[in-house]
Every structure is written in structure tokens, then in C-alpha cells.
Amino acid sequence: MTIQRFCKWMVFSFVVLLATMSQAYAATIGTTIDNLSTSFASIPTLLSSIAYIMGCFYVITGIYKFKDHVDNPSQTPLSAGVKRFAGGGMLFTLPYLVEVLRRSFFPAATAVTDGTVRHLNPLGGGMDQMIFELIEDIAEPMTILLSSFAYISGALLLVVGISRMIKTAQDGPRGPSGLGTIMTLFVAGALLSGAKMIAAFTGSFFGDSTISTFANIDPTIISNAADRDSISAIIESLMTFVMIVGVIAFIRGLFVLRAFAEGSQNATIAQSLTFLFGGALAINMGDLVNVLGTTVGVAGLTFT
């Protein structure tokens, strides 16, 4: 499933769930997203079961390949059986391989830390209050949902990468040692360690993985403390929304990178890098504003 199809499916699910909210007045968009994330909880177990069945199939066919090799060595190479046995063994231990691949990228890295301190709340009761309440409601559920999607997608791509071991070099990028297969495993590892991968990108730009979304407005610009707090809360909400969009863009960049390696005509390395680096900057837009403000000598608005 591509990130585009996932987003369309997710939007459709929202519409269906929101249409039934008239009978559950306590429900919000945030709780709806939480329910959707909860429904994903059993998917890793399902993938493990599917991988186990595939592993059994590979081992059984590998036995027959060994027999065919004994009967006719020139027609069936020994490697055909070996590859099926190796692929089947990996699929048998999919949960262990998922953890190995995840830790291979960042064995002790620190995940992205949200520096948001949500103690300000607009009290005007207008549009600013509505925006704040909406972002406050969906921010954490969306983060959990995207993390779940990344983890499940990574596990699925790992299964795809392992299943390609039985192919031959004639399959090109999708062969056992093809660029598409290598990048499939790389993207699988990146998705399985999604938060730490994002932290690595943002840390490369700004030196740490803390996300700065709390807005500090200079009192000389807005002297009224209540107005400053209200505006800061709205800016903080908007920065949180931009952060969510950045995470989606970053995940899409990984899928575009894999599509490019697979030989897709609609994917380029430039598109992938744009999504990856643009997403990383959007995730930590606060530090980007701080850097730009320091560069041009403007300090009226900073983020912590």
C-alpha cells in the first residue's frame, strides 16, 4: 500500500466514523483516530502469521528443489533450494528480524522529543479557541496513528524483501541483489525505526532532536500578556499541525525512494530528497524559524 492510498483510505474511514458520531456525542476526531490506531494493533500478529505460512511454503518447495537438483543438476541448481530454505527460515523468525533491523539503524539513538508545553489556552471562545481545541485533540492520536502505519509498513516491506530471495538476477532491481530489493530492506528498517530516523534528520540540521513548537513573543511587540498567551497558543497549534504534515511528508519520501530504486518512471531521487528534507524541516519548523531569525537579526518571535 502506498502512502497516497493509505491517506485516501484513512480519510474515507474518518468520514464513515464521523457519520456515526451522532449516536456517540462524547466522541471527537481525536478519539476516532485513537480507535483507528487500536484497530491496527493486531496487524503485526497477522503479518507474523502470514510470514510463518509463507516460510512453510518456501521450506516445502525448497525440499522439492533439492530433489530436482539431485535428479537433474543441470536443470535445477542447488542454490534454488538453498535460497528457499534461507528465505523460509527468515520468515519463521519475522518478529526477531524486525527488531534486529530496527536496532541495526539506531541501536541507542534518541527519538524525536516534542518540546511542546501546552499550558496556554485561548479563552476568547472564537475561531482561535476552535483551532486550538482541534489540534489539541488530534495531535497525539495522529502521532500514534502515523507511528503504527510506519511500523506495519516496515514489517510488510521486510517480508517483501525476504520473499525476493528466491528470485533470480534476471528480475533486475527486484532480484535478490537488485537495487530495489536492497532499498526495500533499507526503507523497511527506516520505517521500523521511524521516530529515530526523523530524529537523525532533524538532529543533522539543528544539533538535537527536540521539537520546538512553543512560541515566545517579545513583550515589546505585544505588550498585553493575555494577548501574547492567546496568540502563542494559536501559533503553537499551527506549528504542531505543520509537524504532523512533516511526518507524513517524511514517510512519503521513504516510499518515493523505494519506488525510484524499483525503477518507477514517476519517482525520482530529487522528489524523495525533497520529501525527506522538507518533511524534516517542517517537523522542526520552530528551530528553523529561530535560525532564520538569528541570521537576519529578528528576535521578535522564538520557539522553545
Q: Where are the domains of the chain?
A: 3-15+28-38+116-303
pLDDT digit string, tens, across residues 228-276: 778 888 888 888 888 899 999 999 999 999 999 988 888 899 999 999 9
**Position 275, amino acid:** F
d(CA 85, CA 79): 10
pLDDT bucket at 13, cuts 50 / 70 / 90: low
pLDDT digit string, tens, across residues 24-36: 445 677 777 777 7
Output the pTM of the full model: 0.76
| Better-predicted residue by pLDDT, 42 or 286 | 286
d(CA 293, CA 304): 14
d(CA 219, CA 225): 8
Q: What is the mean pLDDT of residues 97-106?
A: 75
* Res 196 pLDDT > 70: yes
d(CA 73, CA 51): 30
Size of the chain, expressed as the number of residues it contains: 304
Q: Three-class SS of residue 302?
A: strand
Q: What is the pLDDT of residue 107?
A: 62
What one-character DSSP code corresponds to residue 34? H
Sign of the alpha-carbon torsion through 13, 14, 18, 19: negative
Q: Which residues pair with 215 in a beta bridge?
A: 303
- For the chain, give the longest Cα–Cα distance: 89
d(CA 45, CA 51): 10
- Burial label for 207, CB within 10 Å (0-12, 13-18, 19+), is exposed
d(CA 84, CA 66): 10
DSSP β-ladder status, 113-114 and 210-211: parallel
| Better-predicted residue by pLDDT, 11 or 263 | 263
Outline where DSSP puts E strands in 44-199. 113-114
